[in-house]
Amino acid sequence: MSETYILEKAVWTEQDFDQMSWHDVQIFAMSFLQQDDGLIHLAFDIDYIFKWVHPHKPGGYFSFWLAPCTLIFENVYNLELNIDTKNYSAEIEIDRIEMNGLNVFGERMFSNWQINLHNGSIDFESTGYKQIVRREPILNKGQYFDLSERGGISFDTKPCK
């Protein structure tokens, strides 16, 4: 039996927050993107897990529908990074992302965001996010691709469809 995964859309936003989960999503790289108006966007290169697939046999392993994505939080300020690299592997994985409250700054509405990692947190305020799916999801045995499978590090903003 061949499983398929139909990608609902190639660009996700904070409007989709309640139906998204970043649990165990690997962060490969992080970048600050300065806009022409001086505002900063915070971008992550990730392999997003769209679906966890239960094992077909008892005692088997999960597999995962995943794709390389660029997650961009827009108009970021009050950024705090707290990542423990002493007692943890080099991998940085997200446990969950939380959005709390709204603040007004000038003409913009900002939410408080907390990216809870398995080894720390990234806290900031932002007007929202876009998650751009760069390639159709593929069924994989692991929760992320190795660098060669995913085409290296990328912050490309061109959606796959």
- Whether the CB-CB separation of 46 and 27 falls below 8 Å is answered with yes
Q: What is the average per-residue pLDDT within 5-13?
A: 96
Task: Tell me whether residue 137 is in a domain.
Answer: yes
Instruction: Work out whether strand 92-105 and strand 25-34 pair parallel, antiparallel, or are unpaired.
Output: antiparallel
6 lies in some domain: no
Handedness of CA 145, 155, 158, 72 (dihedral sign): positive
Q: Is residue 133 part of a domain?
A: yes
Instruction: Pick the more confident residue, 54 or 123.
Output: 123
d(Cα 81, Cα 71) in Å, to the nearest integer?
Answer: 17
Task: Please give the pLDDT value at position 105.
Answer: 63
Residue 17 in any domain: the answer is yes
How high is the pLDDT of residue 1? Answer: 41
Kindly report the CA angle at 26 between 31 and 155, in degrees rounded to 5? 30
Residue 91: domain span: 11-145
- What pLDDT digit, counting tens, does each position of 80-121 carry? 999 887 765 668 999 999 998 777 666 668 899 999 999 999
Tell whether 109 is covered by a domain: yes
What pLDDT digit, counting tens, does each position of 31-67 carry?
999 888 888 999 999 999 999 998 888 888 999 999 9
Residue 147 in this model has a pLDDT that exceeds 60: yes
**Is 57 part of any domain?**
yes
pTM: 0.91
Q: Give the dihedral of Cα atoms 53, 157, 113, 85; nearest 10 deg.
A: 70
State how many domains the chain has. Answer: 1
